[in-house]
Chain A
Amino acid sequence: MSYEQGARPKFDIEVLRKIVKASVKSTPPPPGFDPLTASQADLKQFAFPVRPDRKLQPAEYAFWQKMFAEQLAFEEFDFDLFTSVVTQARGFSGQSPRRQTSRNWSGAYITPRDGTIFSTMWATFQVPTPNPPPDGAPGDDDRSSTWIGFDGQRRYYMSTLPQFGTAQDIELGTGIPVRSFYAWWQWWVRDLTGQAYPIKLTAPAIHPGDLIMCYMQVASDRARVSFMMKNVTTRRFVHFYQDPPQPDDWGLPFKVSGATAEWVMERPAIPPDPNPTPLPNYGTVDFHGCGATAINMQTGAIVERSLSGAKLIDMYVVRQDPQRTVKISIPRQLDTTEFLTEFQ
């Protein structure tokens, strides 16, 4: 979930709703529809992404198999917009060491190589339960989000950020803390007001402890992203695709760079305060079954990528007396498809 520094942008929520609706397509498939055996034409008709090739993309195909191994309830796509406009801040940039830091992200990311760019990515994780952090205070609104996404890490024009996952928030009132959970997505673009909104999916419902599978696929023209989410615990499923945001002032149309693929635990911000919210004590998130494919746009060749060589991002805060930085969420890689982020 991405939030941007700066003044709260003014935008008519209903206008935005229409814009988002016009850019998204999701067609409920007929009963008995099986994405594992349906023709590619039928998949396209019902707004599914292209099914990976079993031989050329074995890891991605295996993810599909897990996703559709059982009878699923296909949710009707719908969304809610947040009433408050929130904006993006990417907390780090320009760092190339293996271990990096950020004010709002912790997780892992990989970069493409040898003339390829990322086209799909996926992961499975369990929805964490947010608890008050040790220094939490009444009135705090602690937020966290768990997501996968492409790009968004540097400042060039095409570095937009399509991202997809769940949110886990906790409000520390004077009484019992109030927790909320939901699925969301966002195609963030720096300085583009309308894209400052994370968009809440009305379904599937998300509960603490639910096992979630997320999958994203960039279309061959790089100007569309397909999203699929399965709540493994409840066997509910949602899928849709979205066309890119419209640039301001007749700018160059946005396309997905595919320059990074990231798996992130984030603490967002609530405008007008550009600072990220306190991070709730979310315990541990286990990102597993992580993978991505990259395509050579010249040759069409596809390569599968794992977390091998991934860069790890520590989330930090600045504390006073004495002034110092403190890591509050640290990723720990377990193997080439799995890593943990751990609240500190």
Chain B
Amino acid sequence: MTERVFTSRYKVIGIIFLVVGAVILIQMFRLQTSASAKALLKASERYAGVQRLVYPDRGNIYDRWGHLLAGDQQVYEVGINLQASNRDPETLATILQAVLNMDYATVLEDAKMPYVEGKSEYIVVTDFVSADKINALAELKQRYADLPAVKGQTNPSLEGLEWNGHRVRNYPESTLASNILGFFAYGERDSARGYFGIEEKYNDLLSGVPKQVFIPSDPHQMYDIPDMPPGTSLVLTIDRSIQASVENTLARHIKKTKAKSATIVVEDPETGEILALASYPQMNLNEYWRYKEIYPNASSFDRAVSSVYEPGSVFKVLTMAAALDSGAVTPDTVFVDTGTFEVGGYTIYNWDSGAWGPQTMLGCMQHSLNVCLSWVSSQIGAETFYNYLQAFGFGRPTGIDLAGEAYYPLRRPGDAQWFDVDLATNSFGQGIAVTPMQMIMAISAVANEGKMMAPHIVRSMVDNGRQYDVTPQVVGNPIRPETALVETEMLSTTLEEESSVALVPGYRLAGKTGTAEIATEYGYTSYLTNASFVGWGPVDDPKFLVYIWLEEPKNNSWGSIVAAPVFAEVVKNLVVLMNIPPDDVRLQLANQ
């Protein structure tokens, strides 16, 4: 009997354990698969680590000789760790007010914020603090920490004050080449990007590719912050010394002529490399947030590529090139200038409203006769003339590697907006809108024996330890080499014969002035002009092509008076900075 009772009790206990066990298992399964469990799991993942987007260091920008034009500087984010046990809000507020010039009440409010795990642990009080200020804070923090403890008295403390370094963009040359470089708006932090110039055009390359990294909280877990290559660094074609010299000249002549703005571009016509590009006004790129005060319109940041204007008589270089190349005229062709030219019901006059009588093409260019060039364009014929303009690259962007390039559509015969008179006015650079960069590209064909080079500003790219050089590109051969040589000779002779102020002793140069009236709502006005000059040299082996545009000069409106001296000054400095010997020395060296 006893054995049976025990057996039955064992069975009951066994069943109870089985049932309890089964219930536990069922409950475990239920808990594991419930919605709350999933939420809990998800929440726990949040604390397992952090997903961090790691940005590569932004690539640097150098001039052609390796001088740093855009790099990184270390600044600090300052914050308060609310978990710090010995926090002293009053001292924190006093010190941050004294050292960082912050508002006492605001800091005090932040410093008094209670610690709430997961919600309010750390508060950023300011950012972009320089290293010297941080050194001052570190010294004070240490001094307070070293204060001897006095019984019954609480020492002032900077406990909880923390700082973390990070990079910001810095431009060591401040304003130099600002129109080229653009800026990186680092204040936007994670969404920061480049604006204008190189910084915008090459933003993706300079930034590199950010990577998402999971950093576990558990130190047992192995993780790897990828050893990310920095963004691509760029070596520009510009020469810092030439750029500085050109900017000094620009500033001087802006002051002298009281022009509204001015632009100077220097190019190597053989390669299309831009050696210097300056546009007024310029800005200190380290204070990029002020750019809207300086440039109310985005197009004025870099007028060389973003502003279109009627170039005036410098355009005659291209009209004459088309005429010579098409065989419409030769340098010796004579045109009898009666002072007027009738076309499409309009009358074209010369700049002085005078009649210059019989003139060769050399004379037409030397005296910059609108009437003559209008006749020349009629000899070329509208279709051929515009084919040449298209071949010179007008009506489309040059493709220069700078952000914000503008262009104006080229109106051709057959277009609704084209009239017969346009052929004449376009021949002397009115009624057509171009950028200085388009002019540089087109005229590079004349300076470079018919080969038109693509203007570019990046010389090479440094990526992952390798340097890739940019190959100069020929973008067209709008004219024959003979035409280019003949016109260069013509434009050199014209400068010499009129004893232009653009001449530089010791160097034979070719060039052309331009004065274009500016269209207003009342029509063209002779007191508001765009004064230009284009020139290149030495004529037998051109090493530079210089384009100058002065917008609305006040002291004198003529390109020959205000723009030609700028060219001479630029060239006088260029030949020294580029080590170009005077023609006689160069020829002597070549013959040795």
Q: Do A and B come from one complex?
A: no
**Chain A residues at the B interface, C-beta cutoff of 8 Å:** none
**Chain B residues at the A interface, C-beta cutoff of 8 Å:** none
